[in-house]
Each structure stands twice: as C-alpha cells, then as structure tokens.
Amino acid sequence: MSRGRPRGRFAARGATALAALACAAACAQADAQEPPSVTPYRPSVSTPAELSAPGYLEFELGALQTPAPQRRDSLPYAAKLAFDEDWGLRVAGEAWVRTRDAAGAVRSGAGDTSVVLKHRLDLDELSALGVELGWQIPTGRAGLGAGTAAATVNAIYSRDVGAAHIDINLNATRNDVTLPATGRVATGWAAALSRALDERWEVCGEVSGMNQRGPGSASQALAALSYTVSRALVLDAGLAASLHAGSAGPSIFFGFTALGPRLF
C-alpha cells in the first residue's frame, strides 16, 4: 500500500487543513449569540430529510483515504444553504484527488462537482420525507472524475426513534455517456442508524450499495463516531469497508461540519 512516501503524510496534511478551517469557522461564530445547530450530512452515504438552518451557509470538509489496488486520497467538501425549512441547495464535490494505480501511475487534481436541490416534507413530529434532484458536472481531470455529466433523483425517509435516528435513501442516476455493454442508469440505496451516546458523542452505522448493468453491484458497511464541539462545529471520523469477499482493506475518513455566516 506504500506509495514511496510515509502513509501518514496525507492524513497529517488533511488533519492540518481541516483543523485550520474548523478553527476559522468556530472563530467566525464566536461572537454570535446562540447560533443554530449544524446539520451534518457527512460522513454517511445517505442524507437526512432535514435541511440546515435557513439563511446560514453551512460547510463540510473531510479527508478520505481508499486503499489499493488503486489508492485514492481525496478531500470531499459540501456547502449548504437552506432558503427556508423546506427548500435548500447544496454544492458538493472533491476539492482535491490523488490516485495511484497498480502500475504506479499517479494523477492528482480537482474532482467532479455536483449541485443538488432539496425539498423536505414533514409527516409528523418524528418523521419526514425528502427528495433531492442533483446534477453532476464533470469538472475533474481525466481519470479523477466520472468523465460525464449525470442527473440523480434521491428519495429520503427519516425518523427519530427515541435517542436514535434512521435515514433511508433510494436513488437513481442517469449518465449522459456510457461505455459499451454498460447501462446508462445506476440505482443506489443506503440505510443509516445513528444514536446519541451523550450530549456530545454520537455513533453511526450504515449499509449502502449500488447496481449498474456492466459494472454489476457493490455494497459497503460504514461505522463512524462524531463529537459536537459546539452548536456550530461537529467533528467526525470512521471506517468504511466493502461487503464483497476479496476486497481491499477499509477506507479511512475524518472531517467536520461547521456553521458559516448568516446571509439572510
């Protein structure tokens, strides 16, 4: 798994960048009186029906390391803005990606970008539905992104069960261009269960998967732990591993969700 440099260098670089940005975000809120709480979407694959605080920018940034045979390091990000309690917009992508294939070839640069419009519908005090319409823009360099535009629709069901919270996502993605013998539509699913351990710590478990004609199906399990520093800052870290036999070791991730400035 070595790439000719210490494995911890990427983690150290990512940790330094995340710590600096997290501190900056926390300082920006230091003078605010009782700011709203952030609504983390990371680090799970699924997203909740809930939107972030209306009128406030909310930021997410993380570091993700995926093992061989094709080593992939990335810095995923997201910027969220809710117009009200029921409508919001999210811009997400990978600020930086570095890959190394089995032959030793290395590529690095920015990844793809997605724009997502979200609508939330309350069912009752404990549950809600959500729908997301997303557009993927192939901004990544060759070999670092999907290489094609795509549109995604994602249906969400969220429910509070005591101290636990459940998020279930079902989605379909249509790619503009496909390879021979490859389907144009990929379907995906994710089910996450999170539970508060106390006022600051929360644990999350999730299973997710996707299927597409040609590449076939894939699924993974994820486990994460988050820590609430304040209403304006939540840290997270965890592991994700494929559920298919013979797959490489787990991916490692960490990051944060931070409240930004109020726009309206």
CATH number of the domain that residue 199 is part of: 2.40.160.40
Q: State the pLDDT at residue 212.
A: 93
What are phi and psi for residue 77, nearest 5 degrees? Answer: -140, 165
pLDDT per residue of the chain (264 residues) written in tens, 0 to 9: 333 444 445 545 555 555 555 555 555 554 446 889 999 999 999 999 999 999 999 999 999 998 866 789 999 999 999 999 999 999 999 999 999 887 888 999 999 999 999 999 999 999 999 999 999 999 998 889 888 999 999 999 999 999 999 999 999 999 988 778 889 999 999 999 999 999 999 999 999 999 999 888 999 999 999 999 999 999 999 999 999 877 778 999 999 999 999 999
- Going 253 to 97 to 39 to 165, the CA torsion angle's sign is negative
| Residues facing residue 131 across a β-bridge | 119, 155
**What's the distance, Cα to Cα, between the start and end of the chain in Å?**
48
Q: State the pLDDT at residue 18.
A: 56
Range of the domain at 135: 8-262
Rounded to an integer, what distance in angstroms lies between the CA atom of residue 25 and that of residue 255? 13
Letter for the amino acid at 254?
A: F
Number of domains in the chain: 1
Residue 190, in any domain of the structure: yes
Quick one: which of 44, 6, 18, 65 has its CA closest to 193? Answer: 44
Rounded to an integer, what distance in angstroms lies between the CA atom of residue 203 and that of residue 107? 34
Residue 202, in any domain of the structure: yes
Reported as type and span, the H/E element at residue 22 is helix 8-28
Q: State the pLDDT at residue 5.
A: 40
Residue 3, in any domain of the structure: no
- Asked whether 156 and 132 are in contact (CB, 8 A), the reply is yes
Contacts by residues 102-108 (CB-CB < 8 Å, ≥ 24 positions apart): 102/68, 102/69, 102/70, 106/3, 107/141, 107/142, 107/143, 107/144, 108/144
Length of the chain: 264
Residue 72, in any domain of the structure: yes
What is the CA angle 194-112-218, rounded to 5? 50
Residue 75, in any domain of the structure: yes
DSSP label at 54? B
Reading the block at residue 37, the tokens are 């709480």
Residue 171, in any domain of the structure: yes
